[in-house]
Structure 1
Amino acid sequence: MAFLLKQEYNGGNLHLSSVVVRQRLRGGMDVATSEDSFSMSDHPEEEYYGRSKQYKLLRRLLKYGQLLVMTICWLTFTYFLMANEEIEYEAITLSVPPGKEGLIVGINQKVIASSLCLRLYGPFTKTTFRFDELQSSHFESPFLWIKLQQVEEDNSIKIVKSILHLHLSEQHNGEWQDIIMVEKIIEDVTLDNGKYQLNFMSNFNGTIPLQVAYQFSMVSKKTGLILGLLLLLIIYIAIMFELVHRTLAGVICSTLAVGIIAAVHLRPTLQIIFNIWGNIDTIMLFFGASLIIELLAETGLQDYLAAVSYELSNGHIWPMLHCILLTSCLLSNVFDGILLVLFIAPICLRLCEIMQLDCTPVLSCLIIAINVGSTLTPISSISNNLISNSPFLTNHQIQFTEFIVHMLPATLLTLAQSYIHLRLQFLDSTKMRNFEPFQQRRLKRLINVWRRASLRMGDYTWDESLARQTVDRRIVNLRKRLKRLGKMPEKPTGFEENVQNLRASYPIKNTTLVIICLLALLITLLFSILSRIDQPIKISKGWIAILSALLALSLSNYEDIEGMLTRIDWSTMLFFVTLSIIMQVLITLGLLENIGLLLEHFIINVAEEHRLTVAILSIIWISAILTTFIDNVPVADMMMRIIGTLSLNHHINIPIMPLVWSLALGCTLGGNGSIVGAFANIACAGVASCHGYKLTFFGYLKIGFFVMLGNVVVASCYLLTVHVGFRWH
């Protein structure tokens, strides 16, 4: 931030006779103020509209209530974390022999508990799920059966509960194909200080190597599940009504979540929380993309593209949106949504400034276009990548072209439906206008900018230079304008002057740096495609983003690293981590597993002639609704387990691939439902906040949720038509 202050000393009083303040923002945006626009007087301004005593009392009560709730949360997770240590399972190595007698493992201590936590490490299939005894008899593959038994005083055996049925992996040349860990919470076991045993039996005709560890808890899984739902409700109330900043709400609720699972004796280690639960790959992706976009912002390319978009649209709203939405939808087919949001959202915000628009409809349209476009390819979203590479599809490997062929019609149909919905909702484009006085909007943004700059303690300079316009550029622009003549509405007053001012104000400042950043983005795209098609490289999207950012920094020899790091949205990055931790806690408490079991039983009990229809509709709607409120990655993982389980049951007779396409559409389109439905949505809200704007939960919900419902309806009709009607599969 550069301050140019002219100070006058008059009788011991300091006055600011002229003030020029410029703040360098992410995305190339700057805010300039002078004494002609805002008063910088040392004297406090008079409050013209006083508040009533009742209003002040209500605000005070709400503040005290908020402090009380946060204090209760702090006391709760502090007590649970102090009272329960991290779990260190003592593993027992076993060899389960074949036969009905199996292997009995005695539990040495006498316990009183209501739930049993089991951790098993052995040759299980990646489609291992929880079944009841009747269901397991329908499966032809070998499985391991675990029972909990109580030893009576007369040494007789009483079966307390048949707790798990785990499918075994296949053997190849005497070696097991898969060795994985399974962790389950078994509730309703009601151990009453007696002597107990674990009985391991299998229908496999050989010995099964196994490592077993167990832990007991006084809190039932049902209680933990209720607490988990309550936790989810708390964080959504905090985000929806903006009681506290969403990052602070996420940190408090994620810590409370860890405290809850500590209460049920499942407290993980810090290494597991940050390395596994924290979704480090998404954090690396966001960090690497932020570095590249920050470098690109130094060139002025985003402001230049905003000026070009304004010129191409002749200053009208919907032509401008056509340009932005078509570009973002096409790019989202190959680039990750987070990277696109970080690049395009600042352009949209600059256009909102130029055209006096409300940022909420424009950014909402951008999010919807990116989420719809990301349904097309397996590399365009994290959920699509997880589904296409899922180990639960043991008998079918999804090819890159196969994925595109099946998803292209659905993408085009949902894109058309989204456009029609948005066009009808904003048929009167003046609804997108921001009717708040310009000076008030500018002052609000300036306050937010100064506050953020003060917190970051940044000290940056911003040199403005005038752009030169060549005759060739002018000729090209005139030819483009000639082609559009008669097809566009009449230009607004002062359009030519505005275009000239924009071109003079927002030139490209560093062509070399633009080329370097575009090269980094090209490498990001190339590596993403290579890792998906032939897999010659074994790195994730996060590593690809980091390597591309390091290449851009190395080639540009950028020196102001500290300044760049202060402009990265660490708040949004931390919110990603907290949200991922909360989702993992809900998985540990069994929320998604219970939903999956209910869905599985529901599909199995449907008549065979209607089973495919019910399965398609159930999977796409449940995954879309869950994704609206829960991260789509655990939803996709849970649903793929269900699909893998159904593929093992040869008596159900359901084709698997229509269910896979249903899940892919549900997880991506469900992201349009709320501002936390996808990581790209959260990143977009973070970009708006960095620029002094606000994209609120309800502001987006009024637009995106109903678009999402229409998306899922159209996708459902498409799937039923091609797979139930024409049986494409």
Structure 2
Amino acid sequence: MAAAAAIAIFVVAYALIASEKIHRTAVALGGAGLMLLLHVTDAEAAFFSEETGVDWNVVFLLLGMMVIVSVLRQTGVFEFVAIWAAKRARGRPYRLMVMLVLITAFASALLDNVTTVLLVAPVTFLVCERLGLRVVPYLIAEVMASNIGGTATLVGDPPNIIIASRAGLSFNDFLIHLAPLVLVLLAVFCLLCRVLFRSVFRYDPERTKEVMALNEREAITDRRLLRQGLAVLAVVIAAFVLHPVLGYEPSVVALLGGGLLVAATKVTTEDALREVEWPTLVFFAGLFVMVGGLVETGVIGEVSAFAAGHTEGRRGLAAMVLLWGSAAISAIVDNIPYVATMSPIVADLVQGYPGDDGRVLWWALALGADLGGNATAIGASANVVVLGIAARNGAPIGFWRFTGYGIVVTITTIALATPYLWIRYL
């Protein structure tokens, strides 16, 4: 009964989010409330459980990074980067998109993808405004690039951290096994952008001439605050990269960095918190509770176990089912609880193969979960964050508009990952 209620609530909530008739934050809160009201889950599981509750590490990571970005915004650094990028691209729209896509992807390999889009999105709004370009295609391309780039490393996407912990994989393991494919996927994605967003690539020589005449250094309005902000950001990034050594969770690092900036600079608390995307944070909390209800009632576990039970002993089939199945499920539910649920099952399957033969299953799970997040507007945390930023800045991105591009990108990248896994490991 509880499982049926969990499925019904999630399906209805997902349909309402897709319809865009009710704000997604209201839908997520309503769905979470129903899960609790009908005893599908309880307060203990929803707020305190690592497996089925709100992932407070994600929520507070976002909060801390939003505060840091809010402080940096007051220095003019985003205007500086926007002018610099526009001048390096010489005002050519497609060249600019490729530049922003590559910057986003490589930054996402070192940072988590959510942090990266928080830093890149403000720059994108400014540069598109300067060149008279529609900003939405650029934001969509960047968030997809962040999900692709984050696949390459252990710290690039939260599911990779879960997989590494369960499988005993190192930072170098991810680089060796996934980074080569990610480079190919990025090259293909850049070419795909030329086709998907061709209508936006309209060159305006007059606006370009105006931008080329600008001096980006004049955009910096507070050099002291900029030095302080960049110093804190550098320490935060270093702590992210050194997470396996230092042992501090990224959420703790981000909160400490944001708190230090507010305490040590002239920026007021009100100014620092004004730019925080509160509806996005609340949406995440509600979504985690709803997905947690599916995990709590065993729905996700049953689906995963069914797939695993029908592929046991057939390594190639198991890898393909994991790759494509993970992509499909991660398009609908957040990939963090999905990977957390699936990891024990994959660990059991891996034990059935000699030596390192079973490791391909881990790479299939990582690729499917990470790349599948591009399929829909709520498939990955970075997607939700960008949608929130876009809406706040008067350029809302519709669920189906994002999903229309996302399905094409996801199918293309998963299709390329299929022969890679088969040829290299099977």
Report the TM range for the smaller structure's normalisation. Answer: over 0.9
Which residue of structure 2 aligns with residue 707 of structure 1?
409
1:246 aligns with 2:24: yes
Shift of 1:267: 4.4
Map of 1:546-561 to 2, 5 A cutoff?
Answer: 546-558=255-267, 560-561=268-269
Shift of 1:518: 1.6
Which residue of structure 1 aligns with residue 139 of structure 2?
363
> Once structures 1 and 2 are overlaid, which stretch shifts more, 544-553 or 712-721?
544-553
| Residue type at the aligned position of 1:721 | I
Which residue of structure 2 aligns with residue 424 of structure 1?
195
Map of 1:139-218 to 2, 5 A cutoff?
Answer: none
| Residue type at the aligned position of 1:543 | V
User: What whole-Å deviation, never above 9, does each CA across 1:662-688 have from its counterpart, x for those lacking one?
Assistant: 111111111111110111110001111
- Identity within the alignment, %: 23
SS of equivalent residue, structure 1 residue 629: coil
SS of equivalent residue, structure 1 residue 237: helix
Which residue of structure 2 aligns with residue 10 of structure 1?
none
Q: CA RMSD in A?
A: 2.1
SS of equivalent residue, structure 1 residue 683: helix
Distance 1:240 1:432 in 2: 28
Distance 2:227 2:216 in 1: 22
Counterpart pick for 2:155 among 376, 379, 394: 379
Distance 1:649 1:414 in 2: 31
Distance 2:304 2:356 in 1: 17
The answer to whether the 8 A contact 2:100-2:142 is kept is yes
The answer to whether the 8 A contact 1:643-1:656 is kept is no
TM-score, length-normalised on structure 2? 0.94
1:286 aligns with 2:55: no
Shift of 1:275: 3.2
Which residue of structure 2 aligns with residue 515 of structure 1?
227
The answer to whether the 8 A contact 1:307-1:506 is kept is no
Given the superposition, is the C-alpha separation of residues 332 and 623 from structure 1 closer, same or farther in structure 2, using an over 3 Å criterion? same
The answer to whether the 8 A contact 1:360-1:700 is kept is no
Which residue of structure 1 aligns with residue 175 of structure 2?
404
Which residue of structure 2 aligns with residue 643 of structure 1?
346
> Structure 2: any 5+ residue segments left out of the alignment?
none
Map of 1:46-445 to 2, 5 A cutoff?
Answer: 223-260=1-38, 262=39, 267-269=41-43, 271-276=44-49, 277-390=53-166, 393=167, 397-426=168-197, 429-431=198-200
> Once structures 1 and 2 are overlaid, which stretch shifts more, 706-715 or 233-242?
233-242
Counterpart pick for 1:598 among 300, 306, 313: 306
More strand by share: 1
Distance 1:622 1:519 in 2: 42
SS of equivalent residue, structure 2 residue 242: helix
| Residue type at the aligned position of 1:628 | A
Structure ranking higher on relative contact order (CA contacts 8 Å, 6+ apart): 2
Distance 2:73 2:216 in 1: 17
Which residue of structure 2 aligns with residue 181 of structure 1?
none
The answer to whether the 8 A contact 2:140-2:402 is kept is yes
Shift of 1:659: 0.5
More helix by share: 2
1:719 aligns with 2:389: no
The answer to whether the 8 A contact 2:301-2:342 is kept is no
Shift of 1:248: 0.6
Given the superposition, is the C-alpha separation of residues 505 and 412 from structure 1 closer, same or farther in structure 2, using an over 3 Å criterion? closer
The answer to whether the 8 A contact 1:674-1:700 is kept is yes
SS of equivalent residue, structure 1 residue 372: helix
1:541 aligns with 2:250: yes
The answer to whether the 8 A contact 2:163-2:366 is kept is yes
The answer to whether the 8 A contact 1:612-1:654 is kept is no
Given the superposition, is the C-alpha separation of residues 587 and 504 from structure 1 closer, same or farther in structure 2, using an over 3 Å criterion? closer
| Residue type at the aligned position of 2:418 | S
Map of 1:634-713 to 2, 5 A cutoff?
Answer: 634-649=337-352, 655-713=357-415
Which residue of structure 2 aligns with residue 41 of structure 1?
none
User: What whole-Å deviation, never above 9, does each CA across 1:104-149 have from its counterpart, x for those lacking one?
Assistant: xxxxxxxxxxxxxxxxxxxxxxxxxxxxxxxxxxxxxxxxxxxxxx
The answer to whether the 8 A contact 2:262-2:269 is kept is no
The answer to whether the 8 A contact 2:331-2:375 is kept is yes
User: What whole-Å deviation, never above 9, does each CA across 1:5-37 have from its counterpart, x for those lacking one?
Assistant: xxxxxxxxxxxxxxxxxxxxxxxxxxxxxxxxx
1:496 aligns with 2:209: yes
Shift of 1:318: 0.7
SS of equivalent residue, structure 1 residue 430: helix
TM-score, length-normalised on structure 1? 0.56
Larger Rg: 1
| Residue type at the aligned position of 1:331 | A
Shift of 1:621: 0.8
Given the superposition, is the C-alpha separation of residues 504 and 309 from structure 1 closer, same or farther in structure 2, using an over 3 Å criterion? closer
